[in-house]
Amino acid sequence: MKHLYRYELWCFPRIEKILAIRTKLGWRPLGMWDIVGLVAQTPHKTDQEVKTAVIDELQYTPSIDETGVEVQVSDGTVTLSGEVASLPERLAATHAAMRVGGVRNVTNKTSVRAATPSGVNDQDIAEAARQVLAWAVDVPPNAVTAHVRDRKITLSGEVTWEYQRNAAARAVMYLKGVTQISNEISLESQPTTADTKAAVEAAMRRNAMLNPRWITIDLDGSELTLYGSVGSWSELREAERSAWSAAGVTSVRNELHIAS
C-alpha cells in the first residue's frame, strides 16, 4: 500500500465510503489490489469533457476525416452522426470514440456517402465479395453467401464460431462501393457442457484486461449472459469476446455496465 501516494487524493474519501458500505453489508474485506483498482479509476468526466476528448481522438486518427462527423454526448453515451467515405472509416470512428475515457456507450448513426468509383455496380461488388470470401482463411469454404442490392451486402449461411461471422463481414467491408453490410449468418447449434461456464470464468481470470470478481456469468442452454461492471468500453468488449470463444455458445447478451 506504500505506493498509493502516487495517486490523486480525490479518491480516498470515495474509497473510505466504499469500505464502510461493504463492512456494513457484511461483505468480504477488499484486498490490496482491489483498493489499488479503485484508486486508479478515472475521475468522472462531464459530457462536455468527453465530447472534447472524442473530437480530439477523431482528429488524431489518420484514417478518419473528422470534418464529416458530428459528436453528441449525453450521460456518457456518445452519438456519432454525419457522413463518412467508407465502412472501414465508419468502424474506425466507433473505435476512436470507444478509446476515450469516460465513454459508457457509442451509437454510430453515420452513413456512408453514396459516391462510388466509376463503373462499379452491384454485380461487380457481388463478384468481388464472392472472391474475397473464397480467399479468406478464417471463413469456412462455401459456408457464406453474399447478396448485393443497391450497394448493400447481405451475408447469409451458417458457420461454427462467432469469429467466423465477424471475419466474413470484415472481408467484404473493404470492398469499394459498399455502403452497408447486413450480417445474417447463423451459428451452428452445438450442445454446451457442464464445463462451459467454468471455461469462460477461467478465460476471464487469465485475461490481464479483466477483473472477473465484478463479472457474473449466467448460462441458459446455449445463451450466455454477462452481468456486472467493468472499467472501460474495451474491457466490456474483451469480456464479450471471451464469452463468444466458449464452445457451444450461440448467443451472448452483454449486460455489463461501465462504472463511472
53-104 residue pLDDT tens: 999 999 999 999 999 999 999 999 999 999 999 999 999 999 999 999 889 8
Mean pLDDT across the chain: 85
Q: Are strands 105-108 and 77-84 parallel, antiparallel or unpaired?
A: parallel
Phi (first) and psi of residue 183, to 5 degrees: -95, 100
Closest CA to 90 of 98, 80, 99: 80
Beta strands at 111-112 and 77-84: parallel, antiparallel or unpaired: parallel
Above 60 in pLDDT, residue 105?
yes
Q: What is the pLDDT of residues 150-196, one digit of tens each?
A: 999 999 999 999 999 999 999 999 999 899 999 999 999 888 887 89
The CA distance from 91 to 170, in Å, is 10
- Whether the predicted model's global pTM rises above the 0.85 cut: no
Under 8 Å between Cβ of 11 and 39 = yes
